[in-house]
A and B are shown apart, each in its own frame.
Chain A
Amino acid sequence: MPDATLSQSAFLTLSGISKRYAGVRALEGVDFACERGKIHAVLGENGAGKSTLIKIIAGVVQPDTGTMRLGGHDVTFATPSAANAAGVVCIFQELSLMPDLSVADNISIASPPRRFGLIDARAQRRRAEELLAEIGCEDVNPLMRVRDLPLSRRQVVEIAKALGKKPQLLILDEATSALTSADVEKVYAMLARLKAEGVAILYISHRMHEVEALADRASVFRNGRHIETFDQGRRSTADIVQLMIGRDIATQYPPKPARGSTKPVLTIENLSWDKRLDRISLRVGAGEIIGLGGLDGQGQKSLLLALFGVLRGVSGQITVEGRGVRPGSPAAAKSVGIALVPEDRKTEGLMLPMSISDNLVIASLDAISTGPLVDRARETDAIKRAIARLQIKIGAPGDAVATLSGGNQQKVVLAKWLMTDPKLILLNDPTRGIDVGTKQELYRLMRELADQGAAILFYSTDYDELIGCCDRVAIMYDGRIVRELEGDELTETNIIASALNIDAATPDTSGAVHA
């Protein structure tokens, strides 16, 4: 088998890299190389060792054994700034922005332009404007605080910040997962430009179509080992997925059952809020998975938050199982049987330093308590069942939830809400930054819950996912539902056309119909 790892023209070469965390193997004897002017995808499930690999290259952690050569010289990076100085720049999945500082401050944080030894605010602002223009995002005002920007804009700022460091080796770790599709195009263009300039690019993504569209070469990792490196096109997607998980995947999405009319669990009529939600009417029946689609930031997240009692000043009617409700807080929403898996699992979904078991029972303490006291036996039992039901991979239930991988953390969030026995489950982009294997488990679980009679409202930025999972997809545009797609209408072409609020005059039958 030809292995590109041993290429002579490599810019970065890793040989025999191993790393253990507290006795747990993260990387084992990894040999890896990448070249200038190439986009090199790094693939693998969560826990495959990709993050550790990147952290070693970027100077965040030091390898236990092995050597690293960059541009023909042996290097060791003690800190991220040492890596930056050598031209190795990483855009991390966990944003490295300071929320209270302005966009301009953040972009130039490491080496701001100076006059007389002090930071030159004007020059810094110009620099921010130039860099943002370079990725086609002039709409971000450099004076704004990062805290006041939506997630997708923050990621744009993160990319601008990395560009400002003049990278020789640029690493993108799920850097497009929160971007809108329009921004993704701009980032692709930027990557193509950098590639032409001879920058080496490492690209980590769980979105296979991104990898297909971008990468010149790909390396697959599994269980801390480098499995295979191959040029783009030499392996099919199915092959790659199998390399990643080491087992066959029969179907990507669970089959959708045919069903007639079901009794409605959720009915929304003329729901409006603060100019951002405009007279929304929607009906979700028992056993249905209804998708929310459209471009990012068209009100999908606000709609979920409104239903969950987070927003103030909501008008219109919400009916859950025939009873009119108007939840004023998440606690009230919970009491009428609504659950929400929030956008940011690290801050809104979990108490990271608390244990897995504490996180699991935190929303359903009433159910396992006698009077004011938590019944330990019932608690242990409930935790055991939840872990088994969602197949959460854990060390011990007493470990901090922060020690879990992203996919397993998301499972904990979901398990926490399933314990409350919800009638209506709201999901806000639950598969963001999660590996293929866990994604499929989540899809299967969603369908299972629906079959048991729950109603699911599912927002996703991934059109493929909407088509594969949902019985019906409501496309939102500018705070309104512009179209509902069902059955054969559910194609990528139709979703995109509706998302852009263009009338697709004739339904495009050539678009792939996923089942």
Chain B
Amino acid sequence: MLDDVAIRIRQNIGIVTAVLLFSILYLLYNLAHPKGFSSAVLVQNGDEIFALAMLAMAQTVPVLASGLDLSVGAVMTMVGCFASYLLTGAAGGSPLHLEIFGLHLGLGIFPGGVSGILLGIVICLATGALAGFVNGCVVVYGRIQPIIATLATGAVYIGIALFLRPTPGGKIDEDLNWALTNSLGDFAATVHIFDDGGAGWFAPVAWIPVPFVLLVLIALLVWVPFRRSVLGRAVYAVGSAEGAAYMSGLPIERAKIAAFTLAGFFAGCGGLFLAIQTSSGNADIPQAGAYTLNSIASVVIGGTSLLGGTGSAIGSIFGAMVLRVISFFFRIFDIAPLLQPLFEGLILLAAVSIGALGVLRVKNTLELFR
């Protein structure tokens, strides 16, 4: 049995490193922060981490199948723009209309109230998944390399976002914003459950930030079942040795489409949250690019090989958190904002190098190339 544990640790050394790195950095951060170890700090951090964590998960799935998805930031931005129309929560619903090629089309009234908001959320997530599905189809049926296929579709998605929101704007229901970006207690009070969050049994968990709960739920309800499904296994197999996967009779085309669809869904979750958090839709191109690049960095820090086949979305969540904690430090140490990219880059380089330390222990240099 001890053998088994040793094997598992060795095989997941990347994730273990990311978790340790995050724990150390976050402990230091809380020690240095004047209000460290408080629910308020935790809530603020949770809000800042969530979108990137989702994008990191999104990036992980295509990377496992040895393809990069350069459109995750664009999908996030596009879904955010949709959300800024569909989640207004206005009592009488909100009218939707489309102006295109000089035509003025009324699309009826999108329902308001709680049912309208729930419907809006479903539509936003479905939009993300659809965008990912399109990516997958272009890659599989167009036989185009993922990196260039998603570069193109990403530009299309940004185009749609710009079309929807030429300038930042829109509105998100205020209760929704409040309920999802604060602690569980605030959530309960807003949606009027558990005696408005006052129930005695609820008190010990009331401090937990909602974004962390959402993150854990999505990981447990979406990622874990996917990983243990035949399709999820096929994604790993495709990334490890596509020819062998084919010869083993695995559904490799379905696996690739599933990988990109899931990526679109996760990116959609990120975009939805970002819109709710900022209460607006914004077709911000530099932001979309930055999120895409940071998602790749998170995946690498989280111990997933860019060659595919090994790693996990859970590791990428920790990778994203490591990346975010680094920027938190700038606030408490009061470093000039213009120096931030420089420091972030250096720390990223150092973090990635930790993963490469194993190279020094290799005694058979041929193993480095396998």
Q: Interface residues, chain A, CB within 8 Å of chain B?
A: 60, 79-81, 84, 92, 94-102, 105, 109-110, 112, 114, 117-119, 121, 141, 143-145, 147, 161, 273-274, 302, 305, 310-313, 329, 347-348
- Known contacts A110-B249, A141-B4, A98 near B244 by CB under 8 Å: yes
Q: Quick check: B364 and A311 within 8 Å, CB to CB?
A: yes
Q: Could you pull out 17 A-B pairs where Cβ atoms are within 8 angstroms?
A: A80-B247, A97-B241, A98-B241, A99-B240, A99-B241, A100-B240, A110-B249, A117-B229, A118-B225, A119-B228, A143-B4, A143-B7, A273-B363, A305-B364, A311-B363, A312-B362, A312-B364
Contact B365 A99 (CB under 8 A): no
Q: How many residues of B contact A (CB 8 A)?
A: 33
Closest chain A residue, CB of each to CB of B5? A143
Smallest CB–CB gap between B136 and chain A, Å?
20
Additional A-B contacts beyond A102-B11, A119-B233 (6; CB < 8 A): A79-B249, A80-B247, A84-B249, A109-B237, A119-B228, A305-B364
If A145-B11, A147-B370, A311-B364 touch, whether A97 touches B244 (CB-CB below 8 Å) is: yes
Give Cα A329–Cα B364 distance, bound, in whole angstroms.
11
The 9 A-B residue pairs with the shortest CB-CB distance, nearest first, are A81-B249, A100-B309, A100-B240, A98-B240, A96-B247, A118-B228, A96-B244, A98-B237, A100-B310
Cβ of B248 and Cβ of A109 under 8 Å apart? yes
The contact string, 1 if C-beta is below 8 Å from chain A, for chain B 207-249, is 0000000000000000001001110010011011101111111
- Which one of B4, B228, B241, B244 has the greatest number of beta carbons of chain A within 10 Å? B244
For the complex formed, measure the closest distance between the CB of B82 and the CB atoms of chain A, giving whole angstroms: 31
Cβ of A175 to closest chain B Cβ, rounded Å: 14
Q: Name which residue of chain A comes closest to B3, CB basis.
A: A141
Q: How far is the CB of B65 from chain A (nearest CB, A)?
A: 12
Q: Please indicate the chain A residues that have their CB under 8 angstroms from the CB of B305 in the complex.
A: 100
- Is B162 on the interface with A (CB-CB < 8 A)? no
Complex Cα distance, B237 from A99, in Å, reads 9
Expressed in whole angstroms, the minimum distance between the Cβ of A140 and any Cβ of chain B is 12
A-B contact count (CB 8 A): 95
- A-side contacts of B230, CB under 8 Å: 112, 114, 119
B363 contacts A312, CB within 8 Å?
yes
Contacts of B228 in A (CB 8 A): 118-119, 121
Given A60-B247, A95-B244, A118-B229, residue A101 in contact with residue B363 (CB < 8 A): no
Report the minimal beta-carbon distance from B227 to chain A, rounded to whole angstroms.
9
Within 8 A of A (CB), among B129-188: none
CB neighbours of B7 from chain A (8 A): 141, 143-144
B356 at the interface (CB under 8 A from A): no
**Does B8 make an interface contact (CB < 8 A)?**
yes
Residues of chain A within 8 A of B365, CB atoms compared? 310-312, 329
Q: Which of A81, A98, A329 has the most CB of B within 10 A?
A: A98
When the two chains form their complex, are residues A105 and B239 in contact, meaning their CB atoms are under 8 A apart?
no
Chain A interface mostly helix, strand, loop or mixed?
loop
> Cα distance A145–B240 when bound, in Å?
11
Nearest neighbor of B7 in chain A, beta-carbon distance: A143
- A98 touching B309 by the CB < 8 A rule? yes
Residue of A nearest to B310 (CB): A100
- A residues near B126, Cβ cutoff 8 Å: none
Interface residue B250 (Cβ < 8 Å from any Cβ of A): yes
Residue of A nearest to B237 (CB): A98
Measured in the bound complex, the distance between the Cα atoms of B233 and A121 in whole Å is 12
Distance A100 CA – B247 CA, assembled complex (angstroms): 16
- Nearest chain B CB to A144's CB is how many angstroms away? 6
Residue in chain B with minimal CB distance to A306: B364
In the assembled complex, the CB of B3 is this many whole angstroms from the nearest CB of chain A, namely: 7
Let me know if B338 is at the binding interface, CB within 8 A: no
Task: Check A310 against B236 for contact (C-beta < 8 Å).
Answer: no
**What residues of A have a CB within 8 angstroms of the CB of B239 in the complex?**
100
Residues of B within 8 A of A118 (CB): 225, 228-229
Option from B4, B236, B362 in Cβ contact (under 8 Å) with A101: B236
A302 to B309 alpha-carbon distance, docked (Å):
28
Interface presence of B366 (CB below 8 A): yes
A134 to chain B, nearest CB (A): 19
A-side contacts of B245, CB under 8 Å: 98, 109
Q: Which residues of B contact A305 (CB under 8 A)?
A: 364, 366
Mark each residue of chain B from 300 to 313: 1 if its CB lies under 8 Å from any CB of chain A, else 0. 00000100111000
Residues of A within 8 A of B364 (CB): 302, 305, 310-312
Min Cβ gap A399→B in Å is: 20
* Cα A117 to Cα B309 with chains together (Å): 22
Partner of B236 from A84, A100, A329, A348 at Cβ < 8 Å: A100
Q: Given the complex, which residues of B lie within 8 Å of A98, measured CB to CB?
A: 236-237, 240-241, 244-245, 248, 309
Q: Is the CB of B309 within 8 A of A99?
A: yes
Q: Which residues of B contact A60 (CB under 8 A)?
A: 247
* Chain B 1-40 per-residue mask, 1 if CB under 8 angstroms from chain A, else 0: 0011001100100000000000000000000000000000
How far, in whole Å, are A169 and B178 apart by their CA atoms in the complex? 64
Q: Which residue of A lies closest to B224 (CB)?
A: A118
| Nearest CB in chain B: distance from A232 CB, A | 30
Are A101 and B309 in contact, with the CB atoms below 8 A?
Answer: yes
> What is the distance, in angstroms, from B343's C-beta to the closest C-beta of chain A?
34
Q: Are B241 and A109 in contact (CB under 8 A)?
A: no
Give Cα distance in the complex from A119 to B244, angstroms. 20
The residue in chain B whose Cβ has the minimal distance to the Cβ of A274 is: B363
Contacts of A105 in B (CB 8 A): 233, 236
State whether A92 and B229 are in contact (beta carbons under 8 Å apart), knowing that A98-B240, A141-B7, A305-B366 are contacts in the complex. no
Contact between chains at B366 and A348 (CB < 8 Å): yes
Residues in A with CB closer than 8 Å to B366 are 305, 310, 348
A348 to B367, CA, bound (A): 11
Whether A80 contacts B370 in the complex (CB less than 8 A), given A100-B310, A312-B362, A313-B363, comes out as no
Smallest distance from the beta carbon of A161 to chain B beta carbons, Å? Answer: 8
Q: What residues on B are CB-neighbors of A161 within 8 Å?
A: 248
Which B residue's beta carbon lies closest to that of A82?
B249
Least CB distance from A359 to B in Å reads 17
Q: How far is the CA of A348 from the CA of B370 in the complex (A)?
A: 10
Residue pair B229, A110 in contact (C-beta under 8 Å): no
Whole-angstrom distance between the Cβ of B166 and the nearest chain A Cβ: 45
A143→B237 contact, CB < 8 A: no
Chain A residues whose C-beta falls within 8 Å of the C-beta of B225 in the assembled complex: 118
CB of A115 to closest CB in B, whole Å: 10
Q: Which of B230, B236, B370 neighbours the largest number of chain A CB atoms within 10 Å of its CB?
A: B230
Bound Cα distance A79, B310 (Å): 27
Instruction: Give the distance to chain A from B4, nearest Cβ to Cβ, in Å.
Output: 6
Min CB distance B81 to A, Å, is 35
B residues near A80, Cβ cutoff 8 Å: 246-249
Which residues, 247 to 278 on B, are CB-close (under 8 Å) to A? 247-250
Q: How far is the CA of A112 from the CA of B249 in the complex (A)?
A: 12
Q: How far is the CA of A96 from the CA of B365 in the complex (A)?
A: 25
CA distance A329 to B370 in the complex (A): 16
The interface residues of chain A lying within 8 Å CB-to-CB of B233 are 101, 105, 109, 112, 119
CB distance from A98 to the nearest CB of B (A): 4
Q: How far is the CB of B1 from chain A (nearest CB, A)?
A: 11
Instruction: List residues 273-323 of chain B with CB under 8 A from any CB of chain A.
Output: 305, 308-310
